[in-house]
Structure 1
C-alpha cells in the first residue's frame, strides 16, 4: 500500500462510519484483534470496543464533518491531523445535549497491515471539547 491508497482507505472509513453512520463497516477497516490505545476502561478489546466508542460519538453528535489538514504515511504507519466538527445533540459523558456546534482537533496514528488497521493511537483534544460543551471553564477563566 502506498500513501495515496492509505489516504483513500482512511477517507472511505470516515465516510462509511461518520457520514453513512455504518458502525458495522468498521470490520472492513480494522483487523479483528486491533489494538486501540487509549481504549476507555471497561470497554472490550478490539473492534467490539471501537464499535461501542463509535456509537457513543454518533449518538452524541450529529452533522459530524472532518477536514484533513495533514496526512503522513511511511512504511505502513499513518499520522493524521484533522479538525472534527459536529453538533452536540445527544448526551455525552453525562453532559446533556447543548445544541452547540463544536470543533476539535484530532491526531490519530495507526499502523496498517494487509489493508487494515492493526494498531491505533488517538489523541483527541478532549479538554477543548469539554470546554466547548460548558463542562469545564475555558483555560483563561480557570487561571
Structure 2
C-alpha cells in the first residue's frame, strides 16, 4: 500500500461527505465492497452504504465526516474522523430536534486497485444521541 491508498481515502471523505456527492461511491468503492459496520437497517454493500449515507444526509443535511489523522499500516488505511451534523430530518424514527452533534470515530478501510474494498468503523453513538438528546433505546 502506498500514499495513493491514503489519497483514495481522503478524496473519498472530501467528495462524499464534504461536497455531498453520494453518487461518487460508485467511483470510490469496488462492486463487491463489504461494510463490516453498515449503516443501521442497510445491507453491508456499496448500495447499502450509498442508501445509508443518503438517509443520514436527509436527517442531517450538513453531515460532515472530516479526517483528522490518516495513516496506513498492515495493508489498511486507518482514519480518525470527526463526524458532525444538525438534526433537521427524521432520524431513527425521531422527529427533527434542530440540535447539533460532533463526535469522533475511527474508520479502517482496505484499498485494492485504487478502490475501497472493505470498511470497519466505530463512532461514539452514545455521545451522539446524548448531544441530540435522544434516548439510547431509539
TM-score above 0.5, yes or no: yes
Instruction: Report Cα offsets for 1:44-87 as digits up to 9, x if no partner.
Output: 34211111111111111122334422211025301111111211
The farther-off stretch of 110-119 and 36-45 is 36-45
Q: Secondary structure at the match of 2:16?
A: helix
Query: Please, which moves more after superposition, 13-22 or 108-117?
Result: 13-22
Look up the match of 1:6. Answer: 5
**SS at the partner of 1:63?**
coil
CA RMSD of aligned residues (A): 1.9
Deviations along 1:17-63, one digit per CA (max 9) or x if unpaired, are: 12332221101111111110122575334211111111111111122
**1:83-141: CA deviations, max 9, x gaps?**
1121111111112111112101111101110011111101121111111111138xxxx
More relative contact order in 1 or in 2 (CA 8 Å, sep 6+)?
2
The question of 1:65 aligning with 2:43 is answered no
> Does structure 2 conserve the Cα–Cα contact (< 8 Å) formed by 1:18 and 1:58?
no
Worse-matched range after superposition: 19-28 or 5-14:
5-14
Residues 56 and 63 in structure 2, CA contact (< 8 A), matched pair in contact too: no
Gaps of 5+ in 1: 138-143
Larger Rg: 1
In the superposition, relative to structure 1, how do residues 26 and 40 fare at CA in structure 2: closer, same or farther (>3 Å)?
closer
2:123 is aligned to 124
Cα distance, 1:15 vs structure 2: 2.2
Structure 1 length-normalised TM: 0.84
Q: How does 1:16-55 map to 2 (within 5 A)?
A: 16-39=15-38, 42-55=41-54
Alignment TM-score, normalising by the size of structure 2: 0.87
